[in-house]
Amino acid sequence: MRRAWPDTMKIVPSDITPYEKYLSRRTLLAGGLGLAAAAGLSGLTRTAQAQTATGAALTYTHNAEYSVTDPPNSFKDISTYNNYYEFGTDKSDPSENAQKFQTRPWTVVIGGECEAPGTLALDDLLKPHPLEERIYRMRCVEAWSMIVPWVGFPLADLIKRFKPTSKAKYVEFKTLMDPKQMPGERGSVLDWPYTEGLRMDEAMNPLAFMTVGLYGKVLPNQNGAPLRLITPWKYGFKGIKAIVSLRFVERMPVTTWAKSAPSEYGFYANVNPAVDHPRWSQATERHIGSSLFDQRRPTLPFNGYANQVASLYTGMDLKTYF
């Protein structure tokens, strides 16, 4: 059954900014020729944005190795244009409806094929993991993109702690099931609780990030507090929010979107400009935010992270395994 994503992705040729033009515009800005425009962007510095972020401040180091240098989207863009069906299906619903969501106490259950399963209070789960900031390029299957300064720690660090066995081929993640707090879960727009999965080598890739903050502060509820996943080479829907369980499993988990519409959303969900979504092209994307960049530009394979992740899929037909 088709549901959920609005069918607004009709692209006409005039929408498309050729990539060379996009790059040359960036070069012009960097060279100071677009000063007025650049002034608009530099006003959106990370420091200023961090001040408008509302959560408690976090202590972290910036990880330049895993960060892009593009200017991040504003805190406002990132925290008011959201997908979080537990709080409604419109982009503005999560920021309006998630404000009272309780993120403490919070427990995460880790189990399945591992030597050291456990049930941990979130703060104990976080303790051994120093936090870092990574500015990631994000890409939604609906063909829009943003640049987001997340704060978190590598998923691999957490996984190693629980000692998965050789039977662990995938990790399955689940979101809290609490229809009292999450009004969307009282309806059947999706099969609850929201479920996601990664193959073990994907989960161990250094880019896979457990996220607890944004712009240096604790995650806003609408962005997935208190704990969410970010896999920047995949579509945003893999970034499951409000995680309460991780389970190491032998068989590929049935993920929420794949269950909802298997012909539209595959398990791998790798950003692939060469494979159209059944209802829209994936070849280009619209960058949300500053009007300067809020234009279509070509989608990059693996969202620009091919060097780090393409080898995970060697030998796989990515049209079949989408």
Q: Interface with ligand MTE by CB under 6 A: which residues?
A: 82-86, 140, 175, 194, 223-224, 236-237, 239-242
Closest by CA position to 137, among listed 312, 287, 290? 287
Q: Least distance to ligand MTE from the beta carbon of 87, Å?
A: 8
Q: Least distance to ligand MTE from the beta carbon of 14, Å?
A: 26
- Which CB atom, from 140 or from 155, has the smaller least distance to ligand MTE? 140
Q: Least distance to ligand MTE from the beta carbon of 82, Å?
A: 3
Angular region, 217: left φ>0, alpha ψ -120 to 50, beta rest: beta
Tell me the two tokens of residue 32.
């100071």
Residue 294, amino acid: D
- Which CB atom, from 60 or from 194, has the smaller least distance to ligand MTE? 194
Closest by CA position to 290, among listed 97, 109, 25, 99? 25
Q: Least distance to ligand MTE from the beta carbon of 84, Å?
A: 5
Find the residue with minimal CB distance to ligand MTE: 236
- Which CB atom, from 5 or from 66, has the smaller least distance to ligand MTE? 5
Q: Least distance to ligand MTE from the beta carbon of 107, Å?
A: 17
Q: Least distance to ligand MTE from the beta carbon of 167, Å?
A: 27
Task: Report the run of H or E that residue 52 belongs to, with start and end.
Answer: helix 46-52
- Which CB atom, from 17 or from 83, has the smaller least distance to ligand MTE? 83
Q: What is the largest CA-CA distance in the chain?
A: 59
SS3 (DSSP) at 312: helix
Q: First CA to last CA across the chain, in angstroms? A: 18
- Which CB atom, from 175 or from 270, has the smaller least distance to ligand MTE? 175
Cα(179)–Cα(190) distance, rounded to whole angstroms? 13
Cα(260)–Cα(191) distance, rounded to whole angstroms? 7
- Which CB atom, from 122 or from 140, has the smaller least distance to ligand MTE? 140
Q: Least distance to ligand MTE from the beta carbon of 140, Å?
A: 4
- Which CB atom, from 85 or from 293, has the smaller least distance to ligand MTE? 85
Contact 141, 235 (CB under 8 A): yes
Closest by CA position to 271, among listed 246, 299, 229, 241? 299
- Which CB atom, from 164 or from 239, has the smaller least distance to ligand MTE? 239
Closest by CA position to 198, among listed 161, 240, 158, 157? 240
Q: Burial of 11 by CB count in 10 Å (0-12 exposed, 13-18 middle, 19+ buried)?
A: middle
Question: Cβ–Cβ contacts within 10 Å for residue 35, how many?
Answer: 12
Rg of the chain taking only CA atoms, in angstroms: 19
Q: Least distance to ligand MTE from the beta carbon of 240, Å?
A: 5
